[in-house]
Copies of this chain bind each other. A is one copy, B any other.
Amino acid sequence: MRLPVLYVGNRNYSSWSMRGSLLVRLSGLEYQEEVIPLYMPEGRERLLEISPSGRVPCLHIDGLRIWDSLAIAEFLHERFPAAGIWPADPAGRALARCISAEMHSGFTGLRGALSMDIRASQPKTDLPEVVRSEIRRIESIWQDCREKHGAGGDFLFGQWSGADCMFAPVVSRFRTYGVGLTGAARRYADAVWQRPDVQGWVQAAAAEPWEIDFNHPGGVRARLRPDAGRI
């Protein structure tokens, strides 16, 4: 039998792919992961073949194609109810879904100004107020969850859950762009970063052969890294 396949974009850049991959790992599903190099000619074609929306991550399982991270989370939660995708406590579960959905639809300032680039280190000091206000909102979400539901572990709802998968790429962005954190938010971000599944993704991102220039004047450009063979 063919294993389920999670199609992801470049690990260095595709934050939604990172979320999807962490979710599938959390569920315990046996699966394969296939990277589609975004913005490369071969990637463009492949994307249209495998994803109805042309977006990744996209999970192929049981003849289904599930092309959105939240839909993947809910599918896995139904299939593996004991895996801890969402907290067992109903109040925690409702809150976990709220903050995950808020990440899913929002934080557009942050996502635009601090796009995920795991390998990079480019501290920024002059962030616009809209981005700073979104950063404050994220810190407040983290602190609130840790205070109310964090007992029993280092994560938003104690044990690692789907909500943490949603915020893991934010932790990476904060590291790349030098966003300083203090107190509970800092401790939480460190705990996320140290997880083996997060580190596995980070190392795979570092080893990837592509680089993408999102700010190219002629539109987004991807290419093989000149040093790709040497890492």
> Interface on A for B, CB 8 Å cutoff?
52-53, 55, 62-71, 74-75, 78, 90-91, 93-95, 97-98, 100-102, 104-106, 137, 144
Contact = CB atoms under 8 A, between A and B. Distances in A.
A53 B97 contact: no
Contacts of A104: 70, 101, 104-105
| Chain A interface main SS type | helix
A53 B94 contact: no
Contact of A137 (B53, B93, B95): B53
Given A104-B104, A104-B105, A71 B94 contact: yes
B67 A98 contact: yes
A75 to B, nearest CB: 5
Contacts of A90: 78
Given A68-B97, A75-B97, A104-B105, 8 more contacts: A53-B106, A63-B91, A66-B94, A66-B98, A70-B101, A71-B100, A75-B94, A104-B104
